[in-house]
Amino acid sequence: MKKIATTYSPPRGHWVGDGFPVRTLLSHERMGARNTSPFLLIDYAGPASFPPATSRRGVGPHPHRGFETVTLVFQGELAHRDSAGNGGVIGAGDVQWMTAGAGIVHEEFHSPAFTEQGGVLEMVQLWINLPARDKSAPAAYQTLLSNRIPTIPLSDQSGELRIIAGEYRGRRGPARTFTPINVWDIQAEPGGRIALDLPEGHTTFVVVLSGTVLLNGSDILRDAGLASLERSGTTIELEANNRARLLILTGEPIDEPVVGQGPFVMNTRQEIQQAISDFREGRFGLLER
Ligand code: MN
């Protein structure tokens, strides 16, 4: 059994731009990158209701370097665009996996249709670190539409598991990752008991987005609750008290120094300074108008 290391209640929320009311469930700055690696951040936006509007809400052009941003949409619709010429709209069940790598400028908005119609927005953005050798990888973009994400029924009708990245029982998710990572999205049925086998040695987090879940028979997680588990051991047990949605994140730790500043995550302070000056001098490219 992987023992529970710590459980966390969600902190107070804040706005990212004018489109994303988020709670930062995990932060390498708050919890220490040694404990969270390879994960850097988990922002949970919503669920929040937006009335119809005429101008789009979101975050305008901003840079990233040195890691990946992974956006999972549960409700609502987002539109992305970046300086590598990539972009698109993702809706419920879809995932956008963006490698900032050497540097990218992008914008993140509600889609035109969602802006016009309004509705409920619910999404999660993960920041996943890259090892030093891959921080200069070319910027890239994977659109993982829900019909490409395998959904596996769990035993005894306890729920279902979507493999976004990594593998579960021999099935692989569509995301290409730089280091071994699992990102699973689980919908658990009321009363469902789920036992999961996880990799030995991986950093492991359980995030309960909705519903109430008993973890390892001892700790209750609900309402954006987060648990970190010890790296040793290979199994966890979940029991859903009602219908629940949760994310399981595991990753091989990257044993390197982490220096983050705003949208840049590098290994040294000098590399951060370099990122700031490269961005100022336009070396991250531009969004086409
Ligand atoms: Mn961004």
**Other C-beta atoms within 10 Å of 189: how many?**
18
| Calpha distance 110→36 (Å, rounded) | 29
Report CA-CA distances (Å) from 284 to 79, 104, 127, 221, 287: 20, 5, 19, 40, 10
CA of 69 to the centre of ligand 1 (A): 7
Kindly give the residue spans of alpha helices, DSSP state H, lying in the chain.
Answer: 28-31, 33-36, 112-117, 269-280
pLDDT for position 7: 97
For the stretch 121-176, pLDDT in tens is 999 999 999 999 999 999 999 999 999 999 999 999 999 999 999 999 999 999 99
Peptide bond into 51 cis (omega under 30): no
For the stretch 216-266, pLDDT in tens is 999 999 999 999 999 999 999 999 999 999 999 999 999 999 999 999 999
For the stretch 172-200, pLDDT in tens is 999 999 999 999 999 999 999 999 999 99
CA of 68 to the centre of ligand 1 (A): 10
CA of 37 to the centre of ligand 1 (A): 19
Is the pTM higher than 0.85? The answer reads yes
Give the confidence band of 23 by pLDDT, cuts at 50, 70, 90. Answer: very high
CA of 187 to the centre of ligand 1 (A): 27
CA of 195 to the centre of ligand 1 (A): 34
Handedness of CA 95, 68, 252, 44 (dihedral sign): negative
CA of 100 to the centre of ligand 1 (A): 9
User: In the predicted model, is pLDDT for residue 288 greater than 80?
Assistant: no
User: In the predicted model, is pLDDT for residue 84 greater than 70?
Assistant: yes
CA of 109 to the centre of ligand 1 (A): 10
For the stretch 27-52, pLDDT in tens is 999 999 999 999 999 999 999 999 99
pLDDT for position 6: 96
CA of 45 to the centre of ligand 1 (A): 13
Mean model confidence pLDDT for the chain: 97
Peptide bond into 131 cis (omega under 30): no
**Other C-beta atoms within 10 Å of 255: how many?**
8
CA of 57 to the centre of ligand 1 (A): 14
Asked if 57 and 114 touch (Cβ cutoff 8 Å), the reply is no
CA of 255 to the centre of ligand 1 (A): 25
Report CA-CA distances (Å) from 266 to 6, 100, 101, 107, 125: 26, 12, 10, 21, 19
CA of 241 to the centre of ligand 1 (A): 35
Burial state string for 205-214 with b = 16 or more CB within 10 A and e = fewer than 16: bbbbbbbbbb
User: In the predicted model, is pLDDT for residue 285 greater than 90?
Assistant: no
215, β-bridge pairs: 219, 238
CA of 107 to the centre of ligand 1 (A): 7
259, β-bridge pairs: 266
User: In the predicted model, is pLDDT for residue 289 greater than 80?
Assistant: no
